Structure 1
Amino acid sequence: MSRRLTWALGFGLLVLTAVILLSMGRIPICACGTIKLWTPVWDEAGNSQHIADWYTLSHIIHGFLFYGLFWLLLRNRPVGERALTAIIVEAAWEILENSPIIIDRYREATIAVGYTGDSVLNSMSDIVFMLVGFWFAWKMPLWVTVVLGILFELLALYVIRDNLTLNVLMLVYPVDAVRQWQGG
């Protein structure tokens, strides 16, 4: 597959994901009417509505993990095809994450009581940040990627009392002690 075709397919997957999210009733940008590059406040309504937030670190880690997984499973395929596979998985997660079943699960099982889902802008940005992580893992030595992933997890844990590990735990198997600790 040519590089141009890979880029075109990747862009097409982003457009398709945006169309699906819009058809699900997701808002294009923050209901506040503004677009912020970074929103540092994680516990207010505008979180997950802008380009980047503390959960962006988790999406970069997704890229690290997808690179490693698809290197193991699809090692004989070109890196562009593995990246497309990663886009498909991340896009599927963005669609599922913004479905009523997962939004309701976040509200009942985590500290995200007021969570209403992501804007389409935020979902598209999450996919792009996953690709940044994928590219980084492709280019850097494994140990650098692992150390950075751990640092990202620890930073998010310190700043917002949440990270990819706790997010998955609380979605799959909520622990009251963790929820209480996260609530401060």
Structure 2
Amino acid sequence: MERLLPHHRAWLASIVVALIAVAVLFAMGRPPICTCGTIELWHGQVQSAGNSQHIADWYAPSHFTHGLIMAGIAWLLWQRWRLFGGAPQRWAMPIAVLVESLWEISENTPTVIDRYREATAAFGYSGDSIVNSAADIGWMVLGFLVAVRLPWWASVALGLGLELLALWAIRDNLTLNVIMLAYPVDAIRDWQASGGAL
């Protein structure tokens, strides 16, 4: 999978895509930092106004896992299946950054924010700060870079470990987020509401 490591032009493209995403979030009126006026390296309180506002929180592992998943998809498309003759493999990371950036933008639209409030454990969710969205893109890039250096089974084990850690700590993770956004299950929502972050 090391063939997926980006060359300098791919790194530049990744940075440009991330900066465009930040500019779009500014244009959408997202707050640059937490409205509390501070930037924290870690904010571990999920049911709080500071959740999704700082550099890292209990949802950072989900974005890291996005990177693991996107590296795996890129490997399947370009290494295993030889899609496009395998030629654009070094451009996989900017494509992953584009996908993650599009998610960060859509995640902060009123429609998706309302969906999170209605269907998931993100009670009172008001969207991300720009610092948090930019950090989430960074966590995805880190996950991608780790995945291209690890054997596939180690990436899978790491992703599962992060999912179980978040499940244990906050009763939420990437898997439950996807389930609850796509098809909310009352039993899961009730179980999540009955517990909180450690």
Work out whether the TM-score is over 0.5. Answer: yes
Distance in 1, Cα, partners of 2:175 & 2:121 = 15
How far is the alpha carbon of 1:142 from its aligned partner?
A: 1.1
Alignment partner of 1:52 out of 53, 56, 65: 56
In the alignment of these two chains, the number of paired residues is 183
> Which among 106, 112, 118 is matched to residue 122 of structure 2?
112
Q: Tell me which residue corresponds to 1:179.
A: 189
Does residue 36 of structure 2 align to residue 32 of structure 1?
yes
Alignment of 1:1-184 (within 5 A): 3-75=7-79, 76-184=86-194
The unaligned stretches of length 5 or more in structure 2 are: 1-5, 80-85
Residue identity in the other structure for 1:161: R
- The residue identity in structure 2 corresponding to 1:134 is F
Question: 2:11 is matched by which residue type in structure 1?
Answer: W
Q: Amino acid of the residue matched to residue 30 of structure 1? A: C
Supply the AA of the counterpart residue of 1:25. G
Q: Secondary structure at the match of 1:170?
A: helix
Q: Which amino acid aligns with 1:20?
A: V
Superposed CA RMSD:
1.2
Per the TM alignment, residue 79 of structure 1 is displaced from its structure 2 partner at its CA by: 4.4
TM-score between both structures, scaled by the size of structure 2: 0.89
* Greater than 6 Å deviation, 4+ residue runs: none
AA at the equivalent of 2:127:
G
Which residue in 1 is equivalent to 2:3? none
Distance in 1 (alpha carbons) for counterparts of 2:154 and 2:112: 33
1:3 CA drift (Å): 2.8
- Matched residues in 1 for 2:112 and 2:130: separation? 16
Secondary structure of 1:74's match?
helix
Which of 105-114 and 150-159 deviates more?
Answer: 105-114
